[in-house]
Chain A
Amino acid sequence: MSILEVKGLKKTYTTRFGGNQVQALKNVSFTVEEGEYVAIMGESGSGKTTLLNILAALDKPTGGTVLLNGRNLAEIKESAMAEFRRDNLGFVFQDFNLLDTFSLEDNIYLPLVLAGKNYREMHQRLEPIAEQLGITQLLKKYPYEVSGGQKQRAAVARALITNPKLILADEPTGALDSKSSDELLDLFSAINKDKQTIVMVTHSVKAASHAGRVLFIKDGEVFHQIYKGHHTRQELYQKISDTLTLLTTGGDRA
């Protein structure tokens, strides 16, 4: 069953001065099956972030539909949206978006507290996740006391703790050094093995090579996609690089 269905998505921005119209997304359609790990790649300005914002229901499309777990995002009322996001989506951001005023533990609890869960339940849910992410020792620390990689793992824990249908990751390795990046990507692979669906937007070929499928976006359209299939990570890496070269040198569909 497909968890995410995107059909004919369009997004047009009107610039603030003068009525110049910028088309960020022309016509994007794709589906994500349950348990899939999809990477979305594209150059700056290709519409990746716009797409992710629409998937996250942080932005509204000009045309087309997004069905998440069978529900049309456009039909969800504004008042119910935050709750819907909380229950179905987990977010991992490039700049972590941890609140400085909370310890890591409290940051991770935040979505559950908002959902009205009691402390005992939250704590029970946290334990295995923290164990898996290797942050059990860090839970009492504050964001300013830990490294970027550790912050990002806490952010992943925050995304996982609600058992979301889908995890949306926006350049999750963007602010990390290579060692932390590797650790994080291994982590993503591991949670994907546990049947967690992940959609990740990234620039990094290495990050994308961990995914099961890579979508390429160019000028607001899905330009190409690669399945990992039986390929090894190295082979996938090579294929992604080739596709990107093709994309930038302006070739037509491969």
Chain B
Amino acid sequence: MRKSFYPKMAWSGISHNRKLYIPYFITCITMVMMFYIIDALSVSSVLLQVRGGGTMQGILGFGKWVIGIFTLIFLFYTSSFLSKRRSREFGLYNVLGMDKRNLAHIHFWETAIIAGISLAAGLVCGVVFSKLAELWMVNILKGQVDFKLRVEGSAIRETFLVFLVIFALILLNSLRKMTMASPMELLHSEHTGEKPPKGNWLLALVGIVMLAIAYYLAVTIEDPLIALIWFFAAVVLVITATYLLFIAGSVTLCRILQKNKGYYYKKQHFVSVASMSYRMKRNGAGLASICVLSTMVLVMLSSTICLYAGVESIMRERYPRDLSYEVHVSAPKYLNGENEAGWRHLMAETLQESHLTASDVLEYTSASFYAKFENNNFKMMDEMMDEETNSSRSSSSVYGVYLAPLSVYNQVTGENETLNAGEALVAVFGGSYENDTDTLSIHSDIHLNVKKTVSNFKAINMEGAVSAKVYYLFVPNFDEVAEQLVQYNTDDMQNVSFKCYYGCNLDGSDEEQIAAMNVLNDQFAAIDASEQEGINYIRYESYAFNKEDFYGSFGGLLVLGILLGIVFVFAAVLIMYYKQVTEGYEDQAGFIVMQKVGMTKKDIRQSINSQILIVFFAPLLLAGVHLLFAFPIIYKLLLLFGLNRIQFLAMVALGCYLLFAVFYIIVYKMTSGVYYQIVSTKNK
């Protein structure tokens, strides 16, 4: 045989099955493109130069492998679908005298053609679109851009290698399947008599129970960081339960419906229920995959959009003023008038030197510690240690607690609260104060009367992910209470940290403000170096400086969320499309029989329509329910980032879901056209 024979055979095989291969090509090209884009962005020098770009690249570098692994699984799934559809053709070649070696050649060339075209087109698209993505990301990071088209050699190499491996694995898999099958099996693989699906009610029950447990966990987990294992357990349970429900649960449901004779033997239900059980048996896994993917897209998009949109408010809670310093000391006595005046003077000199004017000065002292809150008592670390010497985990969580003067509360909120000595105002970030008694104590010996409580308090200068819930205790006589707290600091263990915060807003540009921070740094250098007694450390913070980092990491998450969202949506679309095509071929014969037996075309259409609607919208619905139950966890995770806006999150999640549903319906409409086309071709 001539050398060009196999490539020609392979090519004609592909072009004769255009309906199947075009979507496959598009998917492969998209996957290559996505991988390249993310890879290229993660090494892009343009991005690295932008402040915050480094953080973003770190996130993208991780996301690249997520896409790689997903692509492998997904292309495996679709290619096995393709080879199943085409096994008849190969069976025929086999019968006509080609041996398995010849077939292997054709398989090889087909894979080579697909890999070649996908890689070439994917990389070209990747280079073009990576520039767009780069512009977009630099825009997110609010940096400078140029418009040169760049090709990242290392990303091209990596993409090439990764996809070569993926395609090689796919080829090996299809060769393995081919060598095991006999020609007759190949010829008839689509028409082997199918046993009626047995409803495995045990698995269905397990699925329901698992889902219930997962939902329960999702709703009751207090602190996702501490209950990280449970959090992952919930995720795994939900995924497993989704598969069980779609594979076993759906068939069981059909069986139960069939047992109900009054329901089953009705014109509207009869054909639909019977074919549904077969349809679900064949498609359960695919539908479950769509459901899980959709849920992932929704969770990812809504949380990243929220984070990105909320970045300003997170920033302002973390950095209430444009420029600030914080002096952390070991006891309140070091926060005396003399020291404070000295620090303020340094700040004033800094501003003078930088030609900036301060406004909205916020100045306060506070004490902070970590504690468990049990029986109206904040237990500090050492007390906890005594109690449970060796057990590292206990039921209740550890919270951050801030003690601050009431005047700070009044300044921040603009209210005018007054309290007497011995009284406190309790404000809680990320929750509410649940205790019913109106007294609380610290370490069992400082007692305070709770006069007022505030829920979902906006954090003031909170230091990152302390805990999902933070308690602020505002007292009128801060100095006295703080003095009492000193006793809990021992030589080996400092439980309570005292600090003095001074911050102000500035009138200059971001660059000027960052320059001012550096000046401030220099001003304090002397104090830092002198290791003055009682001073633990000093921190200078510029809103402008940290903004870049925040935009970098949250923007990175958003970009990754959107890119992964696109990939997952693509996967879902392709699975849907192939589902419609397979179902079309499978239903063709039945369609004709039903007509002969006396169903009108309208009846058949209605019945098939209702089945397809169920098949298609069940994953969407379940994904919605999953999202609903994931909501508390997402909310608590976002709290760790300092974002406390439950309504906003709810709106974003709902918006994402609706958008996704619209998209889903469009895809459904488009693909169901293909289905009807296939079903009705043999009809006339």
State A113–B270 Cα separation when bound (angstroms): 7
Within 8 A of B (CB), among A61-116: 79, 81-83, 85-86, 91, 93, 97-103, 106, 109-111, 113-114, 116
The stretch from B188-196, B235-243, B426-434, B510-518 touching chain A is B188-196
A122 interface residue per 8 A CB criterion: yes
State A99–B273 Cα separation when bound (angstroms): 13
Chain A residues positioned under 8 Å from B274 (CB to CB): 99, 101-102, 106
Q: Are A79 and B597 in contact (CB under 8 A)?
A: no
Interface centre among B262, B270, B275 (most CB of A within 10 A): B270
Q: Are A103 and B196 in contact (CB under 8 A)?
A: yes
- In the assembled complex, the CB of A93 is this many whole angstroms from the nearest CB of chain B, namely 7
Q: Are B265 and A82 in contact (CB under 8 A)?
A: no
Q: Are A93 and B596 in contact (CB under 8 A)?
A: yes
Q: Are A91 and B590 in contact (CB under 8 A)?
A: no
Chain A residues positioned under 8 Å from B599 (CB to CB): 82, 114
Q: Are A98 and B593 in contact (CB under 8 A)?
A: yes
Q: Are A100 and B596 in contact (CB under 8 A)?
A: no
A190 interface residue per 8 A CB criterion: no
- In the assembled complex, the CB of B131 is this many whole angstroms from the nearest CB of chain A, namely 51
A158 interface residue per 8 A CB criterion: yes
Chain A residues positioned under 8 Å from B176 (CB to CB): none
A20 interface residue per 8 A CB criterion: no
B600 interface residue per 8 A CB criterion: yes
Within 8 A of B (CB), among A121-169: 122, 142, 144, 158
Given known A-B contacts A99-B590, A101-B278, A101-B590, A86 and B596 have beta carbons under 8 A apart: no
- In the assembled complex, the CB of B454 is this many whole angstroms from the nearest CB of chain A, namely 62
Per DSSP, chain B at the interface is helix
Across the two chains, which residue of chain B brings its CB closest to A155?
B597
Chain A residues positioned under 8 Å from B270 (CB to CB): 106, 109-110, 113-114
Interface centre among B271, B598, B600 (most CB of A within 10 A): B598
Within 8 A of A (CB), among B576-625: 590, 592-594, 596-600, 603
Across the two chains, which residue of chain A brings its CB closest to B600?
A82
Chain B residues positioned under 8 Å from A227 (CB to CB): none
A119 interface residue per 8 A CB criterion: yes
Contact of A110 among B261, B275, B592, B597 (CB under 8 A): B597
State A101–B278 Cα separation when bound (angstroms): 7
Q: Are B597 and A144 in contact (CB under 8 A)?
A: no
State A142–B278 Cα separation when bound (angstroms): 13
Chain A residues positioned under 8 Å from B590 (CB to CB): 99-101
State A122–B270 Cα separation when bound (angstroms): 14
State A125–B590 Cα separation when bound (angstroms): 25
State A116–B193 Cα separation when bound (angstroms): 30
Within 8 A of A (CB), among B179-214: 193-196
Q: Are B261 and A144 in contact (CB under 8 A)?
A: no
Q: Are B196 and A122 in contact (CB under 8 A)?
A: no
- In the assembled complex, the CB of B679 is this many whole angstroms from the nearest CB of chain A, namely 15
Given known A-B contacts A86-B598, A114-B598, A100 and B265 have beta carbons under 8 A apart: no
Across the two chains, which residue of chain A brings its CB closest to B278?
A101
A58 interface residue per 8 A CB criterion: yes
B266 interface residue per 8 A CB criterion: yes
A118 interface residue per 8 A CB criterion: yes
Given known A-B contacts A82-B603, A102-B274, A111 and B597 have beta carbons under 8 A apart: yes
Chain B residues positioned under 8 Å from A99 (CB to CB): 271, 274, 590, 593-594, 597
B267 interface residue per 8 A CB criterion: yes
Within 8 A of A (CB), among B403-425: none
Q: Are A122 and B597 in contact (CB under 8 A)?
A: no
Chain B residues positioned under 8 Å from A144 (CB to CB): 193-195
Chain B residues positioned under 8 Å from A58 (CB to CB): 596
State A134–B121 Cα separation when bound (angstroms): 64
State A122–B266 Cα separation when bound (angstroms): 12
- In the assembled complex, the CB of A188 is this many whole angstroms from the nearest CB of chain B, namely 19
Across the two chains, which residue of chain A brings its CB closest to B594?
A99
Chain A residues positioned under 8 Å from B600 (CB to CB): 79, 81-82
Q: Are B196 and A142 in contact (CB under 8 A)?
A: yes
Q: Are A158 and B597 in contact (CB under 8 A)?
A: yes
Chain A residues positioned under 8 Å from B593 (CB to CB): 97-99
State A82–B598 Cα separation when bound (angstroms): 5
- In the assembled complex, the CB of A154 is this many whole angstroms from the nearest CB of chain B, namely 12
- In the assembled complex, the CB of A81 is this many whole angstroms from the nearest CB of chain B, namely 8
- In the assembled complex, the CB of B456 is this many whole angstroms from the nearest CB of chain A, namely 55
- In the assembled complex, the CB of B583 is this many whole angstroms from the nearest CB of chain A, namely 13
Across the two chains, which residue of chain A brings its CB closest to B279?
A101
State A119–B267 Cα separation when bound (angstroms): 11
Q: Are A118 and B596 in contact (CB under 8 A)?
A: no
- In the assembled complex, the CB of B582 is this many whole angstroms from the nearest CB of chain A, namely 15
Chain B residues positioned under 8 Å from A79 (CB to CB): 600
Chain A residues positioned under 8 Å from B261 (CB to CB): 119
Q: Are B267 and A114 in contact (CB under 8 A)?
A: yes
- In the assembled complex, the CB of A113 is this many whole angstroms from the nearest CB of chain B, namely 5
State A109–B270 Cα separation when bound (angstroms): 10
Given known A-B contacts A101-B275, A101-B590, A122-B265, A111 and B596 have beta carbons under 8 A apart: no
Across the two chains, which residue of chain B brings its CB closest to A93?
B596
State A233–B593 Cα separation when bound (angstroms): 34
- In the assembled complex, the CB of B426 is this many whole angstroms from the nearest CB of chain A, namely 65
State A86–B274 Cα separation when bound (angstroms): 21
State A102–B266 Cα separation when bound (angstroms): 14
Given known A-B contacts A101-B590, A113-B270, A116-B267, A91 and B195 have beta carbons under 8 A apart: no
State A114–B590 Cα separation when bound (angstroms): 16
Q: Are B598 and A85 in contact (CB under 8 A)?
A: yes
Q: Are B596 and A97 in contact (CB under 8 A)?
A: yes
Q: Are A113 and B267 in contact (CB under 8 A)?
A: yes
State A57–B401 Cα separation when bound (angstroms): 84
Chain B residues positioned under 8 Å from A93 (CB to CB): 596
- In the assembled complex, the CB of A249 is this many whole angstroms from the nearest CB of chain B, namely 36
- In the assembled complex, the CB of A91 is this many whole angstroms from the nearest CB of chain B, namely 6
State A88–B592 Cα separation when bound (angstroms): 20
Chain A residues positioned under 8 Å from B597 (CB to CB): 91, 97, 99, 110-111, 114, 158
Interface centre among B193, B262, B597, B600 (most CB of A within 10 A): B597
Q: Are A118 and B598 in contact (CB under 8 A)?
A: no
Q: Are A113 and B265 in contact (CB under 8 A)?
A: yes
State A91–B195 Cα separation when bound (angstroms): 26
Within 8 A of A (CB), among B241-273: 261-262, 265-267, 270-271
State A93–B266 Cα separation when bound (angstroms): 25
- In the assembled complex, the CB of A175 is this many whole angstroms from the nearest CB of chain B, namely 15
Across the two chains, which residue of chain A brings its CB closest to B596?
A97
Chain B residues positioned under 8 Å from A103 (CB to CB): 196
Chain A residues positioned under 8 Å from B592 (CB to CB): 97
Q: Are B262 and A119 in contact (CB under 8 A)?
A: yes
Q: Are B265 and A109 in contact (CB under 8 A)?
A: yes
- In the assembled complex, the CB of B492 is this many whole angstroms from the nearest CB of chain A, namely 75
State A119–B193 Cα separation when bound (angstroms): 28
Across the two chains, which residue of chain B brings its CB closest to A87?
B598
State A102–B269 Cα separation when bound (angstroms): 13
State A74–B600 Cα separation when bound (angstroms): 17
- In the assembled complex, the CB of A221 is this many whole angstroms from the nearest CB of chain B, namely 27
Known contacts A99-B597, A101-B274; 15 further A-B pairs (Cβ under 8 A) = A81-B600, A82-B598, A91-B597, A97-B593, A99-B274, A99-B594, A100-B590, A110-B271, A111-B598, A113-B265, A114-B597, A114-B599, A118-B265, A119-B261, A119-B265
A-B contact pairs, 21 of them (CB 8 A): A81-B600, A82-B598, A82-B599, A82-B600, A86-B598, A91-B596, A97-B593, A97-B596, A101-B590, A106-B270, A106-B274, A110-B597, A111-B597, A113-B266, A116-B267, A118-B262, A118-B265, A119-B261, A142-B196, A144-B193, A144-B194
- Point out residues on A near B: beta carbons under 8 Å: 58, 79, 81-83, 85-86, 91, 93, 97-103, 106, 109-111, 113-114, 116, 118-119, 122, 142, 144, 158
Closest 4 pairs (CB-CB, A-B): A144-B193, A86-B598, A82-B600, A119-B261
